[in-house]
Structure 1
Amino acid sequence: MKRKAACAAVLCTLVVAGCSSDSGKQLKYGEMATFSAKSGGSYGVTVMRVEKGDNSDLSALSHPSDYAGDTPYYVHYSLTKTSDGSVQPDVSLDAADGSTHLTMLSLLPSLDFSDPLHPKTQTFAKCPGSTDSLDKTAKGESVSECVIFLAHQGTGDPTSVAMTQGKSNTAVATWK
């Protein structure tokens, strides 16, 4: 009888452990998590802050009516080269309001050819990303990045930002 109880306890532990939602390293905004790059070397990721925007910020985009009622949130983060040599980071961020994931808005820079001899790159002013590549920086240097998430009507402010790598949906780090 004791053997059956022990087996049942082990089985319950395994089932409960298998159902847990592992969110990797738990960090506060401003803290850095360090990861190994597939290409070799290592890099750090620091989510600095989440800034709430206004729906009017989206009026600069093509078809702003597509975003009616949405609230943009700007996730400001940095990548730091923590080793020498080539480093190609694998970073995918996800902002969530508890169990509701916000929608990532990917924007590509556009070119302004009003002066054909000196075209200018136009970026989204509220959430500029770096034009520098982490791979080209020296050990210890950082590049600043920003990603936009949209909260649709009825979605609250994001309470966490999680990072995944590769094709995995499992968070390797979560900032709150």
Structure 2
Amino acid sequence: MKAEYRNFLIRDWEKSDRAAAAEVISSVLVEYGLGWEPAGADRDVLEVEECYLSTGGEFWVIEHQGQLVGTGGYYPVVRGEKAVEIRKMYLLPAARGQGLGKFLLQKLEQAITARRFQQIWIETASVLVEAIKLYESSGYQPETGVETARCDRIYVKTV
């Protein structure tokens, strides 16, 4: 994956991105009062090869002027027919409010559709108000069955 949006570059994750990607995610979680769980819900960002790449998913990073400012990825889940879950879609404050989140979500959906998946699931937390607005305005429907402790909402979209 390689895409540009304004002054941002979305590209495939590389091993050298591991620490910076973890820092982006942990700082956004802290900003919203959510806990960083490296041995639990956030283990996947520390083990991208295992959790995303070897399972048929993808993990991307977003750069701005050489600095990582965001992440996003998906991997297959056993939760429906040919289903994936979008995970770790986080942007630092300086990267928000410019349409980048919507662009990233659209690119993820395009990649998912190209791989012939049929359902996209997203778990999130009520405090992530901007994310919820984005998902709802992009056609995601509320569902039940949250699996991640810090999340209290789950959405699904059929593509």
Give the TM-score, by structure 2 length: 0.31
Bigger RCO (CA 8 Å, 6+ sep)? 1
Which structure shows the bigger proportion of residues in strand conformation? 1
Which structure shows the bigger proportion of residues in helix conformation? 2
